[in-house]
Amino acid sequence: MSKSIQAGIDGLPGDEQADRRVHGGPDMAIYAYACSHYDRWIAEFPEHAGLWGSGALGENLAMHGWEETDVCIGDIVRVGGAILQVTRPRKPCFKLALRFDDLRLPRRLVETGRCGWYYRVLEPGAIAEGDEAVLLERLHPEWCIRRVNDLSIQPDADPTELRKMAALPELAGNWRAQVQAAALAGEAAARNTAFREFIVLKTIDESATIRSFELAPADGGGIPAAQPGQHLVISAQADGRKMSRPYSISAIANGHLQISVKRETGGFSEWLHTRVKAGDRLNVLGPRGSFQLESTSGLPLVLISAGVGITPMIAMLQAATTNNGARIVPKGVSFIHCARDSSHHAFRAKLADIRARHPSVSFHTRFSRPGAEDRIGVTHDSVGRVDRDLIHRTIALLGACNVYICGPIAFMANVSRWIGEIEQSGIRVMTEAFVPSGAAASADRKRRPDHARVSFARSARSLEMNGSGSLLDLAESEGLPVVSDCRSGTCGACAARVISGEVGYDFEPVAPMNDGEALLCCGFPLSEKLVLDL
């Protein structure tokens, strides 16, 4: 038998914890893993056969005859002279992918439930190879590690079950915090069909024209689950009338969501910039939208933006450079952004931080009109606008990849066209727009009445509508549940049957509709009385 080693409150000597904020602390003193899993890993990933074996995943204890279905939260176990207690499953970080040079492994460890588990040390003592692990007490037989792992990664997990898990006194504190946040998010999702009041925690000037607003639920509940790229619909009584607009999410945290708004002369954005401050309240609907970061393939990722189009991209970039055990880190990330100059370049500090921590990410910043103090190689990489040559140089050699584009309509159309010229299969392009690409103003605008009465038959509501906004804005401002996604007349999700009256459009929708239907996101009452089957 090999020499024994002393297990203490902070783990085993010689196994110092590199990052105690995330990976360390007494609740994660000793990591145990089932020896039986390695045959399964070899079968699934034979290309790594030379690496698989006890200790390959960084475990302190390689255990025979114990698996995640046999081990429960709170189990008290004697190993040698030490008494240990099970605290939580493992959720791996990107370092596992680096060890095997395989981006799939962190996600597979979680998906398969072959995650291993952590112990806290209740009584220090000596442990040696060959010592028998003896179960002394089982406190929660219904909460095995496999169940805890699987429930924690379910996107639609029952909040009641999550709260039961979080109530286990023996559960590791950092895992409890994650579970409680997931429970709050699940409960918030149930209320996601109606506006909800959020408090403005603080505002942040990101550039000369873009300001961020950190928002948290006023009821103290959790934020709804959000995906990088999605948007929120913000509603408020602005200058004497109800207004609502969609704004992309620029940051997602456990306790808040952040939107970033470009100030435009007149309208809702200017009101937000000039009137809204920390402590104020806004009505929030969402998150929603199909413009979302794909996080399962591991394909190279290209993010291309101009101006305020950087807003959803910064959320995507942050997610793509943070492995949470449930998403696959892309094989490579390229970030292209065009701004007027450094004063109009939003999120400079965040981008600099990501650049410093992730040298593998390729950045290219182009200024269209650099200021007197701007310097190539310091504030930006080139001058002009994003053009065909830059797009081809970035994407042509990548092969199959995921490309996301956000910015002015003409910008997105040009970039999409240039990408289409590249003779390479597997390039997936997603664009973000709250109006459809190439949309032209409809002739209906000239006939729009100043006032109209809109009745929603099934909801038994009749509302006055002035000469601005869409039918979707009107319905949402009154809390009526409406299915919607693109808000641009392209997906058709918000189609509703017209019972009587006539609907006009700000721009011609492209989504197919059945006879007698109208799209609410870009429609308005063309007649003074309109009745919808909603």
Q: Which has the higher per-residue pLDDT, 386 or 285? A: 386
Contacts 24+ apart (CB under 8 A), 383-390: 385/306, 385/338, 386/304, 386/306, 386/336, 386/338, 386/411, 386/414, 386/415, 388/418, 388/421, 390/336, 390/364, 390/366
Interatomic CA distance for residues 352 and 347, integer angstroms: 9
Q: Is the pLDDT of residue 179 over 50?
A: yes
Domain 196-284 in CATH: superfamily? Translation factors (2.40.30.10)
Provide the pLDDT confidence category of residue 1 given band limits of 50, 70 and 90: very low
Report the 10 Å Cβ neighbour count for 421: 10
pLDDT at position 17: 60
Q: Per mean pLDDT, which range of 3-12, 15-24, 336-345 is the poorest?
A: 15-24
Provide the pLDDT confidence category of residue 294 given band limits of 50, 70 and 90: confident
pLDDT at position 437: 40
For the chain, percent of residues with pLDDT exceeding 70? 91
Interatomic CA distance for residues 248 and 263, integer angstroms: 14
Provide the pLDDT confidence category of residue 18 given band limits of 50, 70 and 90: low
Domain 443-532 in CATH: superfamily? Beta-grasp domain (3.10.20.30)
Mean predicted confidence (pLDDT) in 265-283: 91
pLDDT at position 3: 79
Structurally, what CATH architecture does the domain formed by 5-177 represent?
A: Beta Barrel (2.40)
Domain boundaries, the chain: 5-177, 196-284, 301-432, 443-532
Interatomic CA distance for residues 336 and 344, integer angstroms: 15
Given a contact cutoff of 8 angstroms between Cβ atoms, the answer to whether 53 and 38 are in contact is yes
Provide the pLDDT confidence category of residue 472 given band limits of 50, 70 and 90: confident
pLDDT at position 508: 73
Please write the tens of the pLDDT for every residue from 134-161: 999 999 999 999 999 999 888 778 889 9
Chain CA centroid to CA 204, Å: 20
What are the phi and psi torsion angles at 133 (to 5°)? -90, 125
CATH class of segment(s) 301-432: alpha beta
Q: Is the pLDDT of residue 383 over 60?
A: yes
Mean predicted confidence (pLDDT) in 399-426: 91
Provide the pLDDT confidence category of residue 315 given band limits of 50, 70 and 90: very high
**Most confident listed range (211-225, 423-437, 467-481):** 211-225
